[in-house]
Chain A
Amino acid sequence: MAFVTTTDLIPLIPELILLGAAFVVLLLDLFAPGSQRTTLAVTTIVGFVIALVAEIQLLDSGATGFYGTIVADGFSILFESLYLVIGILTVLLSLHYLDDHGIGFGEYYVLLITAVVGMMFMTSSLELLVIFIGLEIMSISSYILVGIRRRVPESNEAALKYLLLGAFSTGFLLYGISLLYGATGSIRIPEIVVALQEPGALNNPLAIIGVALIIIAMGFKVAVVPFHMWTPDVYSGAPTPVTAFLSAAAKAAGFAMFVRVLLTGIPLEAELWKDLFWAIAVLTMTVGNVMALMQNSVKRMLAYSSVAHAGYIMVAVVVGTPAALSSVIFYSCAYAVMGTGAFGILTVRHFGKTPDSYDDLAGYARYKPCLAFLMSVFMLSLIGLPLTGGFIGKLQIFQAALEEGWVWLTVIGLLNSALSVYYYLRVVVCLYMREGSVPDGAVLEVAESPGFALTGLVGAASVVVYLGVFPQTLLELAASSVSTLF
């Protein structure tokens, strides 16, 4: 009896391609130590691109495998493609950063790939066990990536905090899964759904606590208040490309899991959970924005602002209609690209150091006009000004909320997004309005910025603008992928 057939593997083709790429990179690093670091990066990118092509081929295939626990539906393909794109961007942003900071590990790219593979399993599986393992693959890869600058105390500390709190939340997740398993007798989402649809099943304390614990643990992964405390510390301690990757891809994966498990899988008793999500959404937006306002480090500000953006997405989660879910997808994509871009600017050295505080941004307009312009585009999109993806994303979310009559939630969201102007604008002001002086002894880089990074950043900015001017393509994709969920 063959326990794995070829058809089982079809939905896993992108994952297999990535694993292959990971091994190639690992072996190249091992047996050809002289090989250029660029080679490793290019190999990784090639792996991502081939996987992306495979994803596109899988679109509309409706392939499933392994007893129906793995599906390649529109939802998972869209999110997986997003992880791959962010993966490519991260590699582009990493090359010069690794050189600048003496991170000479080929394993860096391997871990990036495995993190993406983990996310893909999280997104495409219908079995809580596989989702859990995917989550752990992603998390453990991220712990290591965060701590990869092992001689830097901040990096160590960020990794430690991330790991301990991550493991702590894993405990809650597992406890939740076990209680849900006890209440329903299964760990497969379709079976859980069936079991919970029986009359009275939702009054079962086991199910209620189980779902609540799962919400708590997933809330940790997507960093909603009050489970967000790790975000600023980890994001500011991690190497900047890794921060970009975490804020974009890991958060998107968290939301994909959130939608898959909680919103379409488990029938939540409407009022109770809506009120809960409502409170979480409002808290998350507000705390994120207020704290971002207080920061002097741009990286940390962006970290808090990523909390705030999770809050906007939570608004759509509260609404929960198909239109709202497709706005979750759109916003996740838009935020992933603009967030990666914004963090990406911070990877490039300026006056000989990696910029961190607002003051470090002085002089960009004169010495790095191109980066200053790109950063402004990202900031404007994060603010949500028209003609950027951020605007359309917010519009979609608030429009979906309004259609369901969530007026107050929308008003709070709008107020929050008005508040965010204060700190995003400060970045633009520092970029353009402050004259930087070259510090003594600092070397002015000859080239404006490394080619790989510039390519990635220009690409990200183009996507941001494209999503603002021609959003229809992605909107339609999102809507159709949501329809595959139900």
Chain B
Amino acid sequence: MIPISHVLVLSALLFSIGVLGVMLRRNVIVVFMSIELMLNAVNLSFVGFARTMDDMTGVIFIFFIIVVAAAEAVVGLSIILSIYRTRKTLNIDEFNLLKW
């Protein structure tokens, strides 16, 4: 039996790496991928909890998270496509027309 706290630690580490990726990477698509990593960390903790508590809710929740992630990816990537067309770059530092 895998100890739940270790699953939780793994999920916290993955979540932190995701958060870090959002703040560090300058390619906007990689930033987006880091967010996917955060969601996966959440999924992991859901599964861990579901297993510990002998409950299915956590597992069901994951499916919905995956669907939402997919929907966000579709919309997000199309927005990225669109912004690439006007700005010809993916560098997040350059998207600063709106400020102050």
Contact = CB atoms under 8 A, between A and B. Distances in A.
Q: Please say whether the chains A and B touch (CB closer than 8 A).
A: yes
Determine chain A's interface SS by DSSP, over half rule.
Answer: helix
A225 interface: no
Chain A residues touching B, range: 35 or more
A171 B38 contact: yes
A186 B50 CA distance: 10
Nearest to A187: B57
Given A147-B79, A156-B79, A185-B53, A167 B99 contact: no
A160 B28 contact: yes
B71 A140 contact: yes
Interface residues of B, number: 43
Contacts of B19: 168, 171
Nearest to B46: A178
Contact of A237 (B31, B61, B98): B98
A232 B99 CA distance: 8
A132 interface: yes
A163 B83 CA distance: 13
Contacts of A232: 98
Nearest to B58: A181
A168 to B, nearest CB: 6
Interface string B54-80: 010110110011001001100110011
A181 B75 contact: no
Contacts of B72: 136, 140, 163, 167, 170
Interface in B9-66: 15, 18-19, 22, 28, 31-32, 35, 38-39, 41-42, 45-46, 48-49, 52-53, 55, 57-58, 60-61, 64-65
A163 B76 contact: yes
9 contacts: A133-B64, A153-B83, A156-B79, A156-B86, A157-B96, A163-B79, A177-B61, A178-B49, A236-B98
Given A140-B71, A157-B83, A163-B72, 18 more contacts: A129-B61, A129-B64, A143-B79, A147-B82, A156-B82, A158-B98, A159-B79, A159-B83, A160-B80, A164-B22, A170-B39, A171-B38, A175-B45, A177-B61, A181-B49, A182-B49, A185-B53, A233-B99
